[in-house]
A and B are shown apart, each in its own frame.
Chain A
Amino acid sequence: MSNVITDTLGKAYILYKRDMLIFKSNIRANIVRTVLFPLIILIFFSNIGAVAHNVPVGVVNEANNANSYRFMQSLYAASSDGLFTVSTIPSISQGMAEVNSGEVSLLLILNPTIGAQSTTTGILAYYSSPDASTVDGILPTISGVATEYYSGIGSKGIIPINAKPSAPDTEFVPTLTSGLSTNYEDFLVGGVIALVAVFGTLFGGGFTLITDKQLGNLKALLITPINRSSVMLGKTIYTLTLSVISTALVIVISLFFGTTILMGLVGVIWIFILVLMLTLGFTGISLIMASRVKKPEIYAIFTQTIALPLWFLSGAFFPAASMPTWMRVISTVNPMTYAVDGIRDVMITGSYPLSTALPQIGILAIFAVIMLGLAIKLFKVQIA
């Protein structure tokens, strides 16, 4: 029995070595392919749409007291990292006009009660609904400044113009407001890591299995004294290696883009754990596909049809909370959601307690066990 296991592991390692040698012989193309994808997504997506970058904020100072000046100073200081720019506006009516015309995205009105710990709201915030997503990106920072002056601009203070009546309460998305610095780039990185890992998986072991099949290599391998578990195991380890490499590359790139991982080195370890668990499940999917499908083209179409929607519905692009209900249901049963959530907690929120980590990793583990189990059961190589 132990002989069989040693033999299976040994042969799996030989197959793994073969795939890695092939990978290494095309190392430049492989690295470029791995790097290019996240790079493009980060460059393009972080610069369009809901980018919190130099967002124009207008301030009408109705208070004109010491507290309000101090608040203004703090606000200017907070704007120095390029998240938003601050301008003063003489009157409320002009401010409103500018919000409506989009000249400023957010209008803050400082009431005389600012900093007085009064029951009356100290700071009122107005924005129009087209700017809502942009404002979401900077509110936490401004809210942070406001809190110093005991004038939290809670949801009550925010009265979106032209917005749906229920908007004020739902506009706050926990994932967005939880961290200190929540620009969209940071938000996106978590999703991109998951995406690159999953796509790396689909073009990892499963893909090489199907090309091996097409070129006749698989037949040549299977006539040697090898059992099929070795083939599966070898392909799985190869896939995991690829996902570790691609995750490392994406992390390096995003650090270069100025993203921070709040949990530091421990966070990096968590990210790798989450990615590996996610990759295991998708390795199962890719092996099932590869053993059933004949042509690489068809394989690529099938797997991408599965992976892309899952990615979009994982909250990688936009918070799951902002999705319509039916999408949110899919998002809840989507394993990728938990990986993205976890990675984001580690990177943006800066805390990943076991009470969050264990259920998330548990779900990914269940997904992995089911998919790999199915792969073992359904793995059938047609050598034609």
Chain B
Amino acid sequence: MTKDIIEIDNLVKKFGNFVAVDNISMRIKEGEIFGILGPNGAGKTTTINMLLGLIKATSGFIEVDGTDINKKPEIIKEKMGLMTQETVVDGDLTARQNLEIFAELYGMKGTEKEKAINRALEDAKLEEFGDEKAGSFSGGMQRRLNLVKSMIHSPKILVLDEPTTGLDVQNRVDMWDRIRRMNKNGITIILTTQYLEEADSLCNRIAVIDHGQIKALGTPAELKKTVSEGSVIDISLRFEDAENAARIIKQKLKLDCKVIADRISINAGREDIKTLTAVVSLLEKEKIKIIAASVHLPTLDDVFIKLTGGTIRDALGEQQSNASKVMWRR
């Protein structure tokens, strides 16, 4: 049995009257990739900032690798690395200088420092560009430099805050590879992302956070099971028909279904094909036009919809404006 590397108990963070993080407790195991999902403003970044010692919790307890964050933050900082959504490199400095500054901030000197820098440049496939200014690099190169810079001190835990946002497909796949490789080398990874398929394919376990609370926590498979034991049926309709169709399906077939804009999502259980035929014939009888129909195993999208009541992007806009109001009040 693997040990818990991070313990978070009853963590609360308030900004004035706004509760950004509302009594969160969770355990992150050593060596796992742990995903934190949630709409923007849900409390992900606030939780991570507390974990990194950037802001102080209003109340609650965080222990990283056996160290209480309030007692010895500097020990914890040595063990953690962060890569944010924005690419943070000094464009006016060379790749080597970028790495050097951080190596020195982590207290490295002499050959140890040189070794770490050379290893990092090699990792990032930037050996030939070590003495070029980072500002002249392509987006993908800067991102790789950013990642190895976050890893220069060989942390035990790496926090990746939306690491693939804004990357093209090649660079995204490359980033996933890197994350998996680092994880194989024993690094615990905490990942926040907006891409649910990314979380699905990478994470061992996922916590879904909304309104500062944990709505669900488990492996992707466990989370999907909460939506349906079997499959999910999606029926696309004309927008104006959707509500009506859902009502009829609930009434006549006694099925659990949700309306998302012009689409109905039905929990089909194990009887997927049978249910699909029933639904289709019912809607045809009611003269409701079906645009498309599909049967699929539940995805994290379905989990997210079930838990937060909208697609991730719907929630994003709304929460964003709430978040900015809060900032303003501060």
Contacts and interface: CB of A to CB of B under 8 A. Distances in A.
Given A223-B77, A226-B105, A383-B49, A18 B88 contact: no
Residue picked from A22, A219, A384, most chain B C-beta under 10 Å: A219
Interface in B246-287: none
Interface residues of B, number: 28
B84 A219 contact: yes
Contacts of B327: 384
Closest 8 CB pairs of A and B: A224-B105, A216-B88, A25-B92, A225-B74, A225-B77, A22-B92, A216-B86, A14-B104
8 contacts: A22-B92, A26-B92, A220-B82, A220-B84, A220-B102, A220-B150, A226-B105, A384-B327
B74 A215 contact: no
Interface string B38-62: 0000000000010011110000000
A300 interface: no
Interface string A220-252: 111111100000000000000000000000000
Contacts of A94: none
Contact of A222 (B54, B78, B81, B92): B54
Interface string A15-26: 001100110011
Given A223-B82, A224-B77, A384-B327, A22 B90 contact: yes
A231 to B, nearest CB: 11
Contact of A225 (B55, B93, B107): B107
Contacts of B149: 220
A11 interface: yes
Given A14-B101, A14-B105, A384-B327, A223 B88 contact: no
A171 to B, nearest CB: 53
A217 interface: yes
Contacts of A226: 105
B106 A217 contact: no
Residue picked from A17, A217, A225, most chain B C-beta under 10 Å: A225
Nearest to B83: A220
Interface residues of A, number: 21
Contacts of B74: 225
B54 A21 contact: no
B97 interface: yes
Contacts of A25: 92-93, 133
B80 interface: yes
Contacts of A384: 327
Nearest to B97: A21
Contacts of B77: 223-225
Nearest to A214: B86
Contact of A221 (B53, B55, B105): B105
Interface of B: 49, 52-55, 74, 77-78, 80-82, 84, 86, 88, 90, 92-93, 97, 101-102, 104-107, 133, 149-150, 327
A11 B107 CA distance: 9
Given A11-B105, A14-B101, A22-B93, A220 B88 contact: yes
B101 A17 contact: yes
Interface in A239-274: none
Given A22-B93, A26-B92, A224 B133 contact: no
A293 B158 CA distance: 30
Nearest to A26: B92
Residue picked from A18, A21, A220, most chain B C-beta under 10 Å: A220
B102 A223 contact: no
A216 B146 CA distance: 12
Residue picked from B90, B93, B97, most chain A C-beta under 10 Å: B90
A384 B93 CA distance: 24
A97 B15 CA distance: 77
A223 B101 contact: no
B88 A225 contact: no
B54 A18 contact: no
A17 B93 CA distance: 11
Contact of B54 (A14, A17, A26, A383): A383
Contacts of A224: 77, 102, 105-106
A226 B102 CA distance: 11
A205 to B, nearest CB: 16
Nearest to A221: B105
A328 to B, nearest CB: 41
Contact of B52 (A11, A14, A223): A223
A319 B80 CA distance: 58
A247 to B, nearest CB: 24
Nearest to B84: A216
A21 B92 contact: yes
A383 B77 CA distance: 16
Contacts of B133: 25
B329 to A, nearest CB: 13
A223 B161 CA distance: 14
Contacts of B102: 220, 224
A225 B86 contact: no
A383 to B, nearest CB: 6
A26 B91 CA distance: 11
